[in-house]
Chain A
Amino acid sequence: MSDLVYLDNAATTAVDPRVVEEMLACLGPEGDYANPSAVGHAPGRRARARVEQAREEVAALVGADPVQVIFTSGATEADNLGVLGAARFYRERGRHVVTSRTEHPAVLDACRQLEREGCAVTYLKPGLDGIVAPAQVEEALRSDTILVSLMHVNNEIGVVQDVAAIGRLCRSRGVLFHVDAAQGVGKLALDVERDCIDLLALTAHKVHGPKGVGALCVRREPRLGLVPLLHGGGQERGLRSGTLPTHQLVGMGAALRIAALEMAADAARITRLRERLWQGLATLPGVTLNGHPTRHVAGILSVSIDGVEGESLLYALPGLAVASGSACATSSGEPSYVLRALGRSDRLAQSTLRLSLGRFNTEVDVERAIEAIVAAVTRLRAIAPGSGT
C-alpha cells in the first residue's frame, strides 16, 4: 500500500488518525459504548453527551443550530430523507421538483422515485462548464414547485454551484432548497442561514471521517416538515429511527471540527497540488480539463485524454488509485452521465481520469502521478493505429 499513490479522495478518504483516536474511546469495554438513548444510567448519559457534542460540531461547521442536525447513515440517506421526505410532506402544496442532470444518483434516483409517485421533475442541463445558472433555476420554477435540489460541489468534475444565489432565489419564491454538500463539506465555507438552505445533506467520509455516518440539516424556523424514511424507536426527533452509533457520530464530529480548523490551510495546499498536477498533465497533447476552470473545489481534477482507451489507461496505472470517466457508474462500465451532460463524447468520457487530492497527499505523490500518467499515455498512444510506429 505504501507504494501506491491514492488520488481518489472524492470517492472516500483515509480517516484522520486524530479522528480514529476519538472514535476508539467509544468502542472498547472501557469506552463510551453505551446506547445514547439509555440516559437512565451513567454510561448512557456519557454516550449521549458525546453524541450531542458531535451534533454541535457538525452544526457549527455549517452555521446551524444543533437541534437542526439529524444524523443518518451517510449522504445518500440524508439526500433521500431530504428530497423524498420534503416532497412527500408537502405533496398537497405542489408536485414539482427541480434538480439538475449532473446530480449524484442519491438525488437523481430519489427524484425518479418521486416521478413514480406522481411528481413532475425538471432536470436542468448545466452549461458546458458544469455550472447551473441561477437564471435556469428561476426559469424552471412553477407555481406548484415545492423543492429545488442541487449539489454544492460536483463529485466528478468538482465544479462549485452558486448555492447562495439559488438559495436566495428559492427563499424569495417560497420554494424549499435542498443541497447535497457531500463533496463540499469541510472544504468550502457553507452557512445554512446565510445561504438560505432548507435541507443540507452531509457526510463524514469525504473529509477524513468514517464511512457510514452523515447528517441532514433541517431548517428550524419556520419549522420544516419531513416524512421519515425509517420507522422504529423514534430517535432523531422521529425523523430517523435507529440506535445512534456513538463512535461514528463522534468520528463525524471530530472530522468536521478538524476540517473547520484546517480548512484554509488544507485548501491552499491542495490547490497548489492540483495546479501542479494540471500543469504536469497539460504538457500532454490532447488533454482537456472538465468543468469550470476557476469555480471548482481544491481537490478534484477531471481530465479527458484523447487517443487512449479508458480501461487500458487505468490498467496502465497500477501505482495510482484514481477514478475513471465511469466514476459512479464504474460497475456498469457506462460512460459518465455527468461528462455526457457536459457534451463529452462517449469515447472521451471513457478516457477520463478523476484525480482527487486529500489532506494526506504530498508533492511527491503529485510528481509520481504526473510521471506515471504521462508514461502510460505515451505508451498507449504509441501502439494505437495511426501512431506511425
Chain B
Amino acid sequence: MSDADPRYGAEVRARMASLAGAGGFAPSPDVARGRAGDREHGAEVALACRVIAGRVTEARFQAFGCPHLVAAASWLTDRLHGAVREDLEHWDWREAADALAVPPAKFGRLLTLQDAVRAAAGNWPGATASTV
C-alpha cells in the first residue's frame, strides 16, 4: 500500500519537490509582471516574464496557495518560454488543469493564475498602459 497522497499527481509532486521557476527578477524594463489574487482568499500569484525581441525568454513565479496552484505556477514558467504577448492574453487555466490533473475543486485557484498571466500581458514591455 502506497503512502503517496492520491490527491496530488506525479507532475504536482515533481513541481512541489523542485519548485522550478520560483523567484523573480530585479527591476528591469524588459520584464512583464502580473499579479493576482490575495492571501485572504487563499491564492496569490506573482508572475514575471523576461521579454526579449517580443518573446518570453524566461519566466519566474511567486505563489501563495495550495500545492496545485504552486505546481501550476511552476509548470507555467516552462510553458511560457517562447510565448508572445498574444499567447499570454489568451492563455487559459484549463491547460494547466489538464497538464497537472487538477481536481475540479481547485479550478478556482487556477483562475488566479490565469489572471496573473493576463496581467503580465497587460504589462508587456513597451505597452502603454500598466495594470500593476
Whether chains A and B associate is yes
In the complex, chain A residues 185-233 whose Cβ is within 8 Å of any chain B Cβ: none
Stretch in A33-41, A130-138, A379-387 touching the partner = A379-387
The answer on a CB contact under 8 Å between B22 and A309 is no
Q: Which residues of B contact A385 (CB under 8 A)?
A: 35, 44-46, 62-64
Stretch in B49-57, B65-73, B88-96, B119-127 touching the partner = B65-73
Q: Which residues of A contact B63 (CB under 8 A)?
A: 383-385
The answer on a CB contact under 8 Å between B39 and A347 is yes
The answer on a CB contact under 8 Å between B66 and A387 is no
Q: Which residues of B contact A386 (CB under 8 A)?
A: 46, 62
Instruction: Given A309-B42, A315-B5, answer yes or no on A383-B66 (Cβ-Cβ < 8 Å).
Output: no
Could you say which of B23, B61, B70 contacts A312, with CB atoms under 8 Å apart?
Answer: B70
Instruction: Given A347-B39, A384-B44, A385-B46, answer yes or no on A315-B19 (Cβ-Cβ < 8 Å).
Output: no
Q: Does residue A311 face the partner (Cβ distance < 8 Å to B)?
A: yes
Nearest CB of chain A from residue B95's CB, rounded to whole Å: 22
The answer on a CB contact under 8 Å between A383 and B40 is no
Instruction: Given A383-B19, A383-B70, A385-B35, answer yes or no on A312-B42 (Cβ-Cβ < 8 Å).
Output: no
Q: In the bound complex, how far is the Cα of B1 from the Cα of A275, in angstroms?
A: 35
The answer on a CB contact under 8 Å between A389 and B22 is yes
Per-residue contact bits, chain B 98-127, to A (CB 8 Å; 1 contact, 0 not): 000000010000000000000000000000
Q: Please name the residue on chain A nearest to B37 by beta carbon.
A: A385
Q: Which residues of A contact B23 (CB under 8 A)?
A: 383, 389
Q: Does residue B16 face the partner (Cβ distance < 8 Å to A)?
A: yes
Q: In the bound complex, how far is the Cα of B39 from the Cα of A150, in angstroms?
A: 35
Q: Does residue A378 face the partner (Cβ distance < 8 Å to B)?
A: no
The answer on a CB contact under 8 Å between B67 and A311 is yes
Q: Please name the residue on chain B nearest to A315 by beta carbon.
A: B67
Q: Does residue A56 face the partner (Cβ distance < 8 Å to B)?
A: no
Q: In the bound complex, how far is the Cα of B67 from the Cα of A311, in angstroms?
A: 7
Q: Which residues of A contact B42 (CB under 8 A)?
A: 309, 347, 350
Q: In the bound complex, how far is the Cα of B17 from the Cα of A315, in angstroms?
A: 10
Q: Please name the residue on chain B nearest to A3 by beta carbon.
A: B3
Q: In the bound complex, how far is the Cα of B66 from the Cα of A382, in angstroms?
A: 15
Q: Which residues of B contact A350 (CB under 8 A)?
A: 42
Q: Does residue A346 face the partner (Cβ distance < 8 Å to B)?
A: yes
Nearest CB of chain A from residue B103's CB, rounded to whole Å: 12
Per-residue contact bits, chain A 312-348, to B (CB 8 Å; 1 contact, 0 not): 1001100000000000000001000000000001110
The answer on a CB contact under 8 Å between A384 and B67 is no
Per-residue contact bits, chain B 15-45, to A (CB 8 Å; 1 contact, 0 not): 0100100111000000000010001101011
The answer on a CB contact under 8 Å between A345 and B40 is yes
Q: In the bound complex, how far is the Cα of B39 from the Cα of A322, in angstroms?
A: 23
Q: Which residues of A contact B35 (CB under 8 A)?
A: 385
The answer on a CB contact under 8 Å between A309 and B62 is no
Q: In the bound complex, how far is the Cα of B79 from the Cα of A133, in angstroms?
A: 57
Nearest CB of chain A from residue B44's CB, rounded to whole Å: 5
In the complex, chain A residues 45-66 whose Cβ is within 8 Å of any chain B Cβ: none
Nearest CB of chain B from residue A40's CB, rounded to whole Å: 44
- Which of A308, A309, A347, A382 lies at the interface centre, i.e. has the most chain B CB atoms within 10 A of its CB? A309
Q: Which residues of A contact B64 (CB under 8 A)?
A: 307-309, 384-385
Nearest CB of chain B from residue A24's CB, rounded to whole Å: 24
Nearest CB of chain B from residue A4's CB, rounded to whole Å: 8
Per-residue contact bits, chain B 67-83, to A (CB 8 Å; 1 contact, 0 not): 10010000000000000
Q: In the bound complex, how far is the Cα of B67 from the Cα of A384, in angstroms?
A: 12
Could you say which of A311, A347, A379, A384 contacts B66, with CB atoms under 8 Å apart?
Answer: A311
- Which of A307, A379, A386 lies at the interface centre, i.e. has the most chain B CB atoms within 10 A of its CB? A386
Q: In the bound complex, how far is the Cα of B39 from the Cα of A345, in angstroms?
A: 11
Q: Which residues of A contact B39 (CB under 8 A)?
A: 309, 347
Q: Which residues of A contact B24 (CB under 8 A)?
A: 389
In the complex, chain A residues 334-384 whose Cβ is within 8 Å of any chain B Cβ: 345-347, 350, 379, 382-384
Instruction: Given A383-B22, A389-B22, answer yes or no on A309-B66 (Cβ-Cβ < 8 Å).
Output: yes
Task: Provide a sorted-by-A list of 8 A–B residue pairs whose CB atoms are within 8 angstroms.
Answer: A307-B64, A312-B67, A315-B5, A315-B8, A333-B105, A345-B40, A389-B23, A389-B24
6 additional contacts (CB under 8 A) given A345-B40, A389-B23: A309-B42, A346-B40, A347-B40, A383-B70, A384-B63, A385-B45
Task: Tell me the A residues contacting B by CB distance below 8 Å.
Answer: 307-309, 311-312, 315-316, 333, 345-347, 350, 379, 382-387, 389
Task: Tell me the B residues contacting A by CB distance below 8 Å.
Answer: 5, 8, 16, 19, 22-24, 35, 39-40, 42, 44-46, 61-67, 70, 105
